[in-house]
Structure 1
Amino acid sequence: MSAESLERQTRSYLSNNVPQIQEHGGFFEIQDVDDESGEVTVAIGGACSGCGIAPMTMNAIKHRLPDDLDDVSKVNVTRAGGPRAAVMPTKTEEMEEMEEYKDYSPPF
C-alpha cells in the first residue's frame, strides 16, 4: 500500500468515525505516514487544544485506528503546533496521566 493510500484511509476514518473533532471546532492533520511499517502520526488542534476530553480523544484514536484499519499498525497522536494551535491548559496534560482516563471510551 502506498503512503498516499494509507493517508487517505486514515483521513477518511477520522472524518467518518471521529466527527466530533471538526464539529466542535477542532481539526486533525496527518503529520507522517510510514507505508512500510504502517505507522501513522496524527495531530489534533484548534478547539481540541483547550478541550478537557482531548486526552481521551487522543487515546481513543491511538487504540481504535489500528484495530479498525488493517494497514495501520501503530498510531502516534500529538497536539498540532503552528498558528492554528491553542495553548493547552496544564490540567489537560495532568489528565493524560490520571488513572480514571486510562480506560475511558468516548462515544465514537
Structure 2
Amino acid sequence: MSEESLKSRVENWMVKQMPIIQMHGGTSVVREANPETGQVVVELGGTCSGCGISNITAQNIQRDLYYEFEEITDVQIKVPSTGDMGADTVEGGRGGDLRFSTDSAEHF
C-alpha cells in the first residue's frame, strides 16, 4: 500500500463522500491535515457562505472525519457565515467584511 498523505486522503474522502456540496455550488478545501497532531482544518466556501444549513453540513463532516480516520483527533470546519474565516472574505457575496453570526450584518 502506498503512503498517501493524510491531507490527500481527507481531500479524496471529501470528493467521494460530500458531492452534494459541489452539486449546490459549494466548495471545500483541506487547509491542514497534520498526522502528528491529528488536527484537520477544512474550509467551506462558495454557496456554503451564508447557507442556512452550512453549520449542519460542517457538523456532519466533522463527525464523519472522526469516524473514518482513526488518526484524526481534532477537526475544525471553517464556514464563512460563522465568522471562522478571515475578514477579507465578503459576506454572502454582498460585499463588506465578514460578520460573526452573533453580529448584525447591518445590510440595508
**TM-score, normalised via structure 2 length:** 0.69
The answer on whether the counterparts of 2:54 and 2:79 sit within 8 Å (CA) in structure 1 is no
Is 1:87 the counterpart of 2:95 in the alignment? no
Higher relative contact order (CA 8 A, sep 6+): 1
Partner of 1:65: 65
Task: Tell me the distance in 2 between the aligned counterparts of 1:86 and 1:65.
Answer: 28
Return the alpha-carbon distance in structure 1 between the equivalents of residues 63 and 72 of structure 2. 11
Does residue 9 of structure 1 match 2:12?
no
Q: 1:72 offset after TM fit, Å?
A: 1.9
Match of 1:100 in 2: none
User: Could you state the TM-score of these two structures normalised by the residue count of structure 1?
Assistant: 0.69
Query: Share of identical aligned residues, percent?
Result: 30
- Gaps of at least 5 residues in structure 1 are 95-108
Query: What is the match of residue 106 of structure 1?
Result: none
Q: Which residue of 1 aligns with 2:23?
A: 23
Q: Is the 8 A contact 1:40 1:74 kept in 2?
A: yes
Query: Residues 38 and 71 of structure 1 are in contact (CA less than 8 Å); yes or no, is this contact kept in structure 2?
Result: yes
Q: CA deviation at 1:33?
A: 1.8
Q: CA deviation at 1:57?
A: 0.3
Q: How many residues align?
A: 89
Higher Rg: 2
> What is the root-mean-square deviation of aligned Cα atoms in Å?
2.7
Q: Distance in 1 between matches of 2:8 and 2:90?
A: 26
1:46 equivalenced with 2:46 (yes/no): yes
In the aligned structure 2, how far is the partner of 1:7 from the partner of 1:14?
11
1:58-95: CA deviation from partner (whole Å, max 9, x where unpaired)? 0111111111122322210002557xx5515xxx936x
SS in structure 1 of the partner of residue 75 of structure 2 = strand
Higher helix share: 1
- Distance (whole Å) between structure 1 residues aligned to residue 54 and residue 101 of structure 2: 10
